[in-house]
Amino acid sequence: MTELIPGFLWGASTAPHQIEGNNVNSDWWAFEPHMPGMARSGDAIDSYHRYAEDMRLLADAGLNAYRFGIEWARIEPHEGHISLAELAHYRRMIDTAVDLGLTPVVTLHHFTNPRWFTEDGGWLEDRAIDRFRSYVETATRILDGVEWVCTINEPNILALMALMGKSQQQAPAEGDDAEKWLSPTVEGDARPVLPSPDPTIGRRLAQAHQAAREVLKERTGAKSGWTVACQSLTATPGNEEKLREVRYVREDLYLEAARGDDFIGVQSYSSQTVDANGIVPHPEHPDNTLTGNAYRPDALGIAVRHAWETTGHTPVLITENGIATDDDTRRIAYTSEALRHLFATVDDGIDVRGYLHWTALDNYEWGHWEPTFGLIAVDRETFERHPKPSLAWLGDIARSGGKALEAQA
Ligand code: IFM
């Protein structure tokens, strides 16, 4: 029997831009109309107004944690102008979670920047770190009692988005590489492999993370860390050196920057091989997910082991794991297998603090609505929530402290 630590977090994750709706002061909002063939976020799933209902569904099902983000573009819609009403809104969210028995795991930055920040040079501008630090200082006003804070979500994908022009708010010009304007999370025919993130931006983000950590340490009692897209890369025979090279730019730079953090957020969906030419596209297969990924629930175990080693044994929190599918039975099958691989890492002595599923509700997948990752379906016209069987299933496992999964074996 796997022994999980007391207080193990069992929950689900979301991100503001993907669920709230009308994030009008963000760079993504400005960028969306320029993404050829892609959908806009619009009202999203109106969780800005319905967050209490969403959290209640998770708590009633048996989960004990909820990871959600606060939105910089709402809190600071113009540089230096702080919206006290928005700060109060996010404090109410924290209080609601706590009242419902959900441990809040709060993300400070999840892909979107305020529009003014991007228009004035984004992450490569000289004042970027000071601007982010100042936002984090503001955010600490509402973080009293919050135990878990994620500074920046998937900095390795954020660094790629900036490179792809996702933060540029401009339509592709003639002669531009159209691939740059594709969703940063969906792979497929148009662009079989995500481009490499820009390490210059990556190092900038590492500085921003470090600045945020210092502020959080000084002003709050929260544990802080960042959450990395862990790609569970493996080498084809003879290509171990190439693997190290590719993995450093895409992942290890970010894992190494988490050494000494209170936790590392591991986010895992699939796995890919690396050959002499670099990353091999996911092989075509009927089991591929709606984001074009290979069906690889074992990826979670590979990701946790690699993150644990590369961060020098930083405690692990699974901040995202899930599958884009319209078949909820597959979601349950994928997640049970992923959890078994996770439990094996605990059996091997890795310090795992919790499992937060991606995602609570079907939502806006960065340019697309079709890839559905949610435990809860949403009618996008009425905004009615319809829990899927996977929510009750995960809730039962949570209530039993993981034992229900072992009983299913
Ligand atoms: O939806 C995204 C999320 O915003 C970041 N991690 C991956 C998820 C699924 O693609």
At residue 174, does pLDDT exceed 70? Answer: no
Percent of residues, the chain, with pLDDT higher than 90: 86
CB neighbour list of residue 108: distance below 8 Å, 6 or more residues apart: 69, 70, 72, 135, 136, 139, 149, 150, 151, 152, 212
Alpha helices in 186-313 (DSSP H): 199-219, 240-247, 253-256, 299-310
pLDDT of residue 370: 95
CA of 56 to the centre of ligand 1 (A): 23
Per-residue burial over 96-119, b if 16 or more Cβ lie within 10 Å, else e, is: bbeebebbbbbbbbbbbbbbbbbe
DSSP-assigned states of every residue in 33-73: GGSTT----TTTT-HHHHHHHHHHHHHHHT--EEEEE--HH
Q: Tell me, what amino acid is at 193? A: V
Q: Are 9 and 105 in contact (CB under 8 A)?
A: yes
CA of 23 to the centre of ligand 1 (A): 17
Domains of the chain (ranges; CATH) run 9-408 (3.20.20.80)
CA of 324 to the centre of ligand 1 (A): 10
pLDDT interval class at 175 (50, 70, 90)? low
Ligand 1 atom nearest residue 322's Cα = 9
Say how many residues make up the chain. 409
Q: Tell me, what amino acid is at 111? A: F
Residue numbers annotated as active site: 154
Radius of gyration of the chain, Cα coordinates, nearest whole angstrom: 20
The Cα 88–Cα 355 span in angstroms is 28
Mean pLDDT for the stretch of residues 32-56: 93
Q: Which has the minimum average pLDDT: 31-45, 170-184, 267-281, 335-349?
A: 170-184
- Bridge-based pairing of strands 352-358 and 376-378 is unpaired
Mean pLDDT for the stretch of residues 233-248: 98
The three-state secondary structure class of 139 is: helix
Ligand 1 atom nearest residue 267's Cα = 6
Element spanning 198, H or E: none
pLDDT interval class at 261 (50, 70, 90)? very high
Span 352-398, pLDDT tens digits: 999 999 999 999 999 999 999 999 999 999 999 999 999 999 999 99
Q: Tell me, what amino acid is at 277? A: N
CA of 185 to the centre of ligand 1 (A): 6
Q: Which of 57, 53, 82, 56 is nearest to 70 (CA)?
A: 82
Span 55-106, pLDDT tens digits: 999 999 999 999 999 999 999 999 999 999 999 999 999 999 999 999 999 9
At residue 293, does pLDDT exceed 90? Answer: yes
The Cα 56–Cα 52 span in angstroms is 6
Ligand 1 atom nearest residue 185's Cα = 10
pLDDT of residue 405: 95
pLDDT of residue 408: 84
CA of 153 to the centre of ligand 1 (A): 9
Q: Ligand 1 — pocket residues by CB below 6 A?
A: 15, 18, 154, 185, 267, 291, 320, 358, 365, 373
State which of 320, 361, 368 you would mutate to test the pocket of ligand 1, scoring each by most atoms of that ligand within 8 A of its C-beta: 320
Mean pLDDT for the stretch of residues 301-312: 98
Span 205-229, pLDDT tens digits: 999 999 999 999 999 999 999 999 9
Q: Are 82 and 42 in contact (CB under 8 A)?
A: no
pLDDT of residue 163: 66
- For 233, phi then psi, to 5°, come to -80, 140
The Cα 9–Cα 64 span in angstroms is 6
Q: Are 285 and 71 in contact (CB under 8 A)?
A: no
Which DSSP category does 266 fall into?
Answer: E
pLDDT interval class at 38 (50, 70, 90)? confident
Report CA-CA distances (Å) from 165 to 58, 121, 244: 36, 12, 27
Ligand 1 atom nearest residue 366's Cα = 1
pLDDT of residue 185: 81
Give me the chain's average pLDDT, please: 94
pLDDT interval class at 161 (50, 70, 90)? confident
Token code pair at residue 66: 């909820």
At residue 327, does pLDDT exceed 60? Answer: yes
Report CA-CA distances (Å) from 150 to 78, 119, 183, 364, 378: 23, 25, 23, 21, 26
At residue 168, does pLDDT exceed 60? Answer: no
Q: Are 84 and 112 in contact (CB under 8 A)?
A: no
pLDDT of residue 223: 98
The pTM assigned to this predicted structure is 0.97
Q: Are 10 and 63 in contact (CB under 8 A)?
A: yes
Whose alpha carbon is nearest atom 7 of ligand 1? 185
Whose alpha carbon is nearest atom 9 of ligand 1? 185
